[in-house]
Amino acid sequence: MLWLSALVVIAQLSAAKPLLNQRWDDQSVKHAWVEIPKGWEYHSAPPADHLLDLRIGLKQDKIDQLISSLYEVSDPAHGRYGKHLSKEEVDALVAPHPDSVDAVEAWLEHHGINPSDAHFRLTAGEWVTIRVSVAQAERMLNTKYAVYRHPSTGSQVVRTMEYSLPTELHSHVDVISPTTYFGTMQSMRATSFIQPQAASPDSDSFATNISPLDVPASCGVTVTPACLRALYNTTDYVPQATDNNSLGIASYLEQYANDADLQTFFTTFRPDAVGSTVEHVQINGGLDDQSLPGIEANLDIQYSLGIAWPTRGTVYSTGGEPPFNASSTTPTNTNEPYLDWLNYLLNQTTIPQTLSNSYGDQEQTVPLDYATSVCNMFAQLGVRGSSLFTSSGDHGVGGGDCNTNDGTNTVKFQPIFPASCPYITAVGGTTGVNPEVAASLSGGGFSNYFRRPAYQTSTVASFIIALGDEYSDLHNASGRTYPDLAAQAAGFQVVNGGETITVGGTSASAPTVAGVFALLNDMRIVEGKSPLGFVNPLIYSVAKDGFNDIVSGNAPGCGTDGLSARAGWDAVTGLGTPDFLKLQALLKDARVTNDYS
């Protein structure tokens, strides 16, 4: 097997020698769209010599064992709870079978690509990246690429409506990109938005210390770290494992967390944190342009650390957004951002114990093979001991567009990915205090790709029964349901470009919950225990009483009143908002005290 460890180089594109074995001629479609994904339009044909970095995801030989391990180390009732796997152990499970390696190498050679020249990107060997021309990619995938334009952003990408592989390779290859996934960073939605200013800088709402016993009504309009710390009972907890515990924030769309804005934010809202800094990590050409502060990036880091300080924070800036340039001899980096970010993280020996992502697409716009591959990569993070939170979306049950993209334009509730992935913790939105109620924007519903995981079955049963036949033609009642948790989603005071603005969306909810769980991870590390890792099996079982149940409000969409919050779990606010003190007590239960050994 000719697996190499160097960086990607240009593959030799010489004509392949005729082979007696014609196994590569029997081709079948791997994925196809019925119509151009919504929001995109055909623009032009790309030059035949335009270069693509073609990424091939090989079947992971023991992925079923990895998923089983994920559930075992994440289930507080299991003897393996907390026994997270090392990078090397995970790599051994996701490495491709030798037969898959041999088949792909033979296919590359058939197309004139010498595997010893087409350097393979190594994590566990399951991803291969080759640089080829559009013409070569079209021959390999029996397809035609085109330049597609996203009118609302002006973004242009090189994609195809379908691609094929030799039938033999279908059992060896999970996904190839860039092909049919149009969701590049320009079209991905950051789940946040600017709101009208809720308060002036001298408002009493900007108090830096609020009693959890007396949360003022103003916190339901103007949200600050003090409000959240009081609402979710973290005010008195002081992190101690700051050398070992860290929190990471995913950043795309040329969003840059600004250091000066962070200091201004700390000065105004968290004075004890003034002077502390965050680490900036650039991935795949990502930048750290301090002259271009980003509202989303600032929101994420300011509020996750506004709760979790002095926990160490890292912002991952993932690049890959240059526009298509037909005259350029440099390949447009059209690899999808999740793959770049996840491959980077999974290639590190140590990763943050808590991660937050505030970006998503409609699930139906993400090819199933791509979504499955990304979801399995989330599972790798979880089995290694990282808790990953993602926003559930800001469009209620409709996901922003209720019509299906299968050519029928049928109205359906549209789930959001990656919130719909069962190996990630999705966070919905609330608003108001005393009591909190569901925010009407809170994304939630049922996946059409992923079945409901066992950890949800008993907890969501009453909601499914109460829902009955209502909307039965609009959703997949057997799918993975989300969100799992919720937090405030409106009125957040964010410093951007030196000015305080008001921001809303579940982009605020996800880093808020991540901040709370970063403190729980700190507590466990101080006690000599393992970090929580993938938290869903825990929160749906012994820790399910550690949340404030949200019982009113609804998330409308698709011409309906949508789904409603109710007692117990619901598909608008999940199990509810976190109560740190309750969770802290529940995690001291004997069944969740496994140490690192």
Residue 46's nearest CA partner among 156, 175, 161 is: 156
What one-character DSSP code corresponds to residue 211?
-
Residues at the binding site are 549-550, 568, 570
Residue 371's nearest CA partner among 334, 323, 420, 411 is: 420
Catalytic residue numbers read: 296, 300, 507
Residue 429 tokens, joined: 């939105």
Report the DSSP pairing between strands 279-283 and 312-318: parallel
Using CA atoms, how far apart are residues 64 and 89, in angstroms rounded to an integer?
A: 14
CB 443 within 8 A of CB 363: no
- Residues 6 or more apart whose CB falls under 8 angstroms from that of 340 comprise 283, 284, 318, 319, 320
Question: Phi and psi (nearest 5°) for 229?
Answer: -65, -35
User: SS3 of 130, please?
Assistant: strand
Look at the block and give the residue holding tokens 């929101």. 299
User: SS3 of 554, please?
Assistant: strand
Residue 126's nearest CA partner among 369, 385, 424, 373 is: 373
CA pseudo-torsion sign 365, 401, 196, 551: negative
Residue 242's nearest CA partner among 288, 266, 277, 271 is: 277
Cα 409–Cα 146–Cα 408 angle in degrees, nearest 5? 10
Question: Phi and psi (nearest 5°) for 29?
Answer: -70, 130
CB 363 within 8 A of CB 390: no
Q: Distance between terminal CA atoms of the chain?
A: 36
Query: Greatest CA span in the chain, whole angstroms?
Result: 80
Report the DSSP pairing between strands 437-438 and 41-44: unpaired
Residues at the binding site for Ca(2+) are 549-550, 568, 570
Provide the β-strand partners of residue 56. 128, 176
How much is the CA Rg of the chain, to the nearest whole Å? 24
Dihedral angle at the C-alpha atoms of 439, 421, 411, 466, nearest 10 degrees?
A: -60
Dihedral angle at the C-alpha atoms of 184, 189, 190, 195, nearest 10 degrees?
A: 150
CB 507 within 8 A of CB 269: no
CB 566 within 8 A of CB 551: yes
CB 209 within 8 A of CB 310: no
Using CA atoms, how far apart are residues 209 and 225, in angstroms rounded to an integer?
A: 9
What distances in angstroms separate CA 571 from CA 438, 467, 550, 551, one per listed residue?
A: 10, 10, 11, 11
Using CA atoms, how far apart are residues 589 and 377, in angstroms rounded to an integer?
A: 30
Per-residue H/E/C for 275-295: CCCCEEEEECCCCCCCCCECH
Using CA atoms, how far apart are residues 482 and 453, in angstroms rounded to an integer?
A: 11
